[in-house]
Each structure stands twice: as structure tokens, then as C-alpha cells.
């Protein structure tokens, strides 16, 4: 996609079977699609149909009036006060993780920091949104979500024929059953409990349709839980994994981060209230998501014909918008491959046109968890940076694996060195 933009410009017709597909790379055109003319664009297309096979019809994949109702219902969970409450969970889980590395650190034993980030963000989302300790199911869920992520991203057209007992379809179905078994347990345990905490699960189970007065069906609840379990941890985990990779290659940035952490926190664990003062940490996360956007591309289809940059786009086309491509657009990002957190000073961020940077998408379908994710990422980054310096294991291959999310294919192997002895 990057090459297509370099060679052909900001709108490129992509050669794909059975669909009329385009890459849309200019920020103004992206703004038109996701924001200004969003009513003309839908998620009713092949990509979201594939996603629905794993996630059902949850907030990420649904569309139209059903999506509007669900978004309105769930939005209050993501207001600032709630994020502050969840911050305590983030701090605890990050501390717990940082302590668990003592033995590996002492023995200089390499480990996969990407897997560790996945573990901690899954634990956090399960506690923050569903008030459950997921530790006992973490491996099961992790494997199931990886399989689903791989098959949703890679299965191609054959996956639309889910009834064919192909190897990939059977694997996906098995993974989906595994995930479901955990989700049904979570729902059953809550229903059986007399004490319902104030969280997303309680909200979903007690919601009533305004017109009919009916509750959400079990399947609707299942789809939202699956959506939030996946969307709520995998992206943040990838953002952090790539951040450690970049810091490992950029000792100056790492040293500046360490200095900020020491000056702002003075040895105490970071809390939500500290996040606004951990400015450089936030700039590091933002720059890391520019180079390695965890959600690296998404698509929309147009309901009616439209015009983009002077080109006629026939109705029913498939438009690809890629953070990975636009975040490297040389008209807006000088020396785009260079890691430079200074690009995200408030002044420089404000001076850039909208949609040159959009790791969380935009318009009405923008990420509902963006503030949660940024707060969580800064707290985890600083909790670890306070105690550990992570050295990349030389010669370990680090490769991008663009599934639904942008993962490191073979993980990121590091050795942790203790700070402060």
C-alpha cells in the first residue's frame, strides 16, 4: 500500500478479485469519508462480514440504527470519571507485572515483551469492564483470539463460505467455541451473583430496549463481550510492544523517558492523575503508534456514488484507509521512517492538518476506548520504565504481522535490566 501511494498518488485503484477497491491516502479525503460525508459510508462490506464471523454484531462491526443504540448505551462507561476509577486497576496490574520480571531480570533470561503486554492488557480490560479475574483463562483466550485474528485477516474470500469444512474454517469455529465457553461462564456467574458491580457487563445485562422494554438477547451480550475483550486489549498491547522495540533502538529517547519518570514520580507508582505530567511518555506512545499503528487499516463502502479528489467513486466500492500509509505520507511527515517523539509537541500536533494522524480512526465511528487506551499505555510504560530498562535481544527477527491488528510476528525478545540498584 505504501508503494502504491508512492507510485500512483493519493487515490489508487487496487486490484482485488470481485470488488472495486481503492486506497484513499490523503488526509482531506479520509476526513470526507469518515467524518464529513460519513452517512454515505457503511461497514456493510466483505471485511466487516469476516470480522462478524468472530465478533458477531458488536459495537465494532454493527452498523445503522442498531449501532447508534448500542453506542449510546455503552458510551457512559467511557466517561472520564470511569477512566479514573479504572486507573487504579491499571496501576495494580502494571505493578504486578513489573514485579514478576525479577527472576528473569536477575538471570538475564530473555522473554517476549509483546506476550507480556498482551497478558497485562487482557487482565486489565477483563477487570475494568467485566470485574473478572481472567488469569485462569488467559492462555485459552489469547490462543483463541490469535486464531480468530489470523483467520479473519488471512482467510480471504473462502472464509465467506463459512459452511465449507476447510482447515481454516474448522480452526476458526473451534477458537470461537473456546472464546464463547469463557464468555458464557462470565455471564452465568454474574447472573447467579447477588452483587452486581457497576461495570459494562451489568450495563449490558440490565439494559432495556426503549420501545419494547426487552433486554438484550444473550447473543447480543456475547457479541459485545467478545468485541470488548478483543478490541480492548490487543491494540493497546501492540502499541506498547512496538514502543519497547523503538525505545530499545533509541537510547536517547529511552534516557529522556527515564528522566521524566524519575522527576515526575519520584519513585512512587504512576496514577491516572500523573498522566498529564508524563508528557514525554505520551509523545513516545503517539510516535510509536504513528510508525506502528495497532489498527493499521480499515475499510468502508459507499452507499451512493461519491467524488474524491476529482475522481468518481461508483456506489458499492470498497475504500481502504490506512493509518500505516498516511502516517508516513511525506507531504506531512518529514523523514517519515525516523522515530522522533518531538513530532508530538502540542504546537507541532496542532499545526498538522486533521487526519494526518488517526490511530483511533475518526468521525462517529472513532474508537470508544481511545482515552482509556492512552491512559493505560502511559501508566504501563512508566511503571515498567521506573524499574526496568529493556534491552533488545540481538539477532531476534522482529517482523510486522499485519492481521486485523499490527503484531510483531515472532514477538519482541528482550532482557530486562534493573534500574536503581
Q: Which residues bind ligand HEM (CB under 6 A)?
A: 59-60, 71, 125, 227-228, 231-232, 235-236, 239, 294-295, 298, 359-361, 365, 367-369, 372-373
Q: For residue 38, give the DSSP letter.
A: G
- Assess contact for 297 and 324: CB atoms under 8 A: yes
3-state SS class at 313: strand
CB environment 335-352: b (16+ within 10 A), e (fewer)? ebeebbbebbeeeeeeee
Smallest gap from Cβ 38 to ligand HEM, in A, equals: 10
Smallest gap from Cβ 330 to ligand HEM, in A, equals: 22
Smallest gap from Cβ 327 to ligand HEM, in A, equals: 12
- Assess contact for 376 and 90: CB atoms under 8 A: yes
Complex with ligand HEM: residue 186 or 415, whichever CB lies closer: 186
| Interacting residues of 21 by C-beta distance below 8 A, sequence separation 6+ | 13, 14, 317, 318, 319, 320
**Helix, strand, coil percentages in the chain from 3-state DSSP, rounded to 5:** 60, 10, 30
d(Cα 331, Cα 335) in Å, to the nearest integer? 10
- 298-302 and 111-112 beta bridge pairing: unpaired
Q: For residue 36, give the DSSP letter.
A: I
Complex with ligand HEM: residue 59 or 113, whichever CB lies closer: 59
Complex with ligand HEM: residue 290 or 389, whichever CB lies closer: 290
Backbone torsions φ then ψ of 4, nearest 5 degrees:
-60, -45
Complex with ligand HEM: residue 54 or 232, whichever CB lies closer: 232
Complex with ligand HEM: residue 239 or 247, whichever CB lies closer: 239
Complex with ligand HEM: residue 69 or 71, whichever CB lies closer: 71
Which residue is at the shortest CB distance from ligand HEM?
369
Complex with ligand HEM: residue 333 or 360, whichever CB lies closer: 360
Complex with ligand HEM: residue 215 or 363, whichever CB lies closer: 363
Which residue, 409, 61, 117, is CA-closest to 231? 61
Smallest gap from Cβ 33 to ligand HEM, in A, equals: 10
Smallest gap from Cβ 323 to ligand HEM, in A, equals: 7
Smallest gap from Cβ 310 to ligand HEM, in A, equals: 25
Smallest gap from Cβ 372 to ligand HEM, in A, equals: 5
**DSSP string for 53-90:** HHH-S-TTT--HHHHHHHHHHHGGGGSHHHHHHHHHHH
Smallest gap from Cβ 235 to ligand HEM, in A, equals: 3
Burial class (CB in 10 A: 0-12, 13-18, 19+), 205: middle
Amino acid at each position: 500500500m505504501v508503494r502504491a501511494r508512492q507510485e500512483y498518488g493519493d487515490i489508487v485503484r487496487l486490484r482485488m478479485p470481485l470488488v472495486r477497491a481503492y486506497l484513499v491516502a490523503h488526509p482531506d479525503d479520509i476526513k470526507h469519508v469518515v467524518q464529513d460525508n460519513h452517512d454515505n459510508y457503511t461497514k456493510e462490506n466483505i471485511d466487516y462480514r469476516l470480522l462478524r464471523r468472530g465478533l458477531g454484531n458488536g459495537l465494532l462491526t454493527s452498523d445503522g440504527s442498531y449501532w447508534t443504540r448500542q453506542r449510546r448505551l455503552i458510551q457512559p462507561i467511557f466517561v472520564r470519571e470511569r477512566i479514573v476509577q479504572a486507573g487504579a486497576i491499571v496501576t495494580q496490574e502494571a505493578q504486578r507485572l513489573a514485579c514478576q520480571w525479577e527472576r528473569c531480570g536477575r538471570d538475564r533470561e530473555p522473554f517476549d515483551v509483546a506476550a507480556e503486554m498482551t497478558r497485562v492488557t487482557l487482565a486489565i480490560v477483563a477487570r475494568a469492564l467485566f470485574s473478572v479475574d481472567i488469569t485462569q483463562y488467559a492462555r485459552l483466550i489469547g490462543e483463541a483470539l490469535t486464531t480468530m485474528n489470523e483467520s479473519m485477516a488471512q482467510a480471504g474470500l473462502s472464509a465467506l463460505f463459512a459452511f465449507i469444512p476447510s482447515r481454516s474454517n474448522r480452526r476458526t469455529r473451534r477458537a470461537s467455541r473456546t472464546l464463547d465457553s469463557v464468555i458464557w461462564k462470565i455471564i452465568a456467574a454474574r447472573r447467579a451473583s447477588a452483587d452486581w458491580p457497576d461495570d459494562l457487563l451489568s450495563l449490558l445485562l440490565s439494559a432495556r430496549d426503549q420501545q419494547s422494554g426487552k433486554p438484550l438477547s444473550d447473543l447480543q451480550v456475547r457479541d459485545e463481550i467478545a468485541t470488548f475483550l478483543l478490541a480492548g486489549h490487543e491494540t493497546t498491547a501492540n502499541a506498547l510492544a512496538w514502543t519497547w522495540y523503538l525505545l530499545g533502538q533509541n537510547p536517547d529517547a529511552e534516557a529522556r523517558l527515564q528522566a521524566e519518570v524519575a522527576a515526575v514520580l519520584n519513585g512512587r507508582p504512576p496514577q491516572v492523575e500523573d498522566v498529564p505530567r508524563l508528557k514525554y511518555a505520551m509523545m513516545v506512545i503517539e510516535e510509536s503508534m504513528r510508525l506502528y499503528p495497532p489498527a493499521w487499516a480499515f475499510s468502508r463502502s459507499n452507499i451512493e456514488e461519491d467524488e474524491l479528489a476529482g475522481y468518481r467513486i461508483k456506489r458499492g466500492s470498497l475504500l481502504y484507509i490506512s493509518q500505516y500509509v498516511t502516517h508516513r505520507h511525506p507531504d506531512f511527515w518529514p523523514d517519515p521512517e525516523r522515530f522522533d517523539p518531538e513530532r508530538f509537541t502540542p504546537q507541532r500536533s496542532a499545526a498538522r492538518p486533521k487526519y494526518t494522524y488517526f490511530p483511533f480512526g475518526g468521525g462517529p465511528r472513532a474508537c470508544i476506548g481511545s482515552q482509556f487506551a492512552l491512559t493505560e499505555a502511559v501508566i504501563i510504560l512508566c511503571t515498567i520504565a521506573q524499574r526496568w530498562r529493556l534491552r533488545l535481544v540481538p539477532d531476534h527477527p522482529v517482523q510486522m504481522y499485519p492481521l486485523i491488528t499490527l503484531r510483531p510476528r515472532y514477538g519482541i525478545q528482550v532482557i530486562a535490566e534493573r534500574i536503581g540498584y
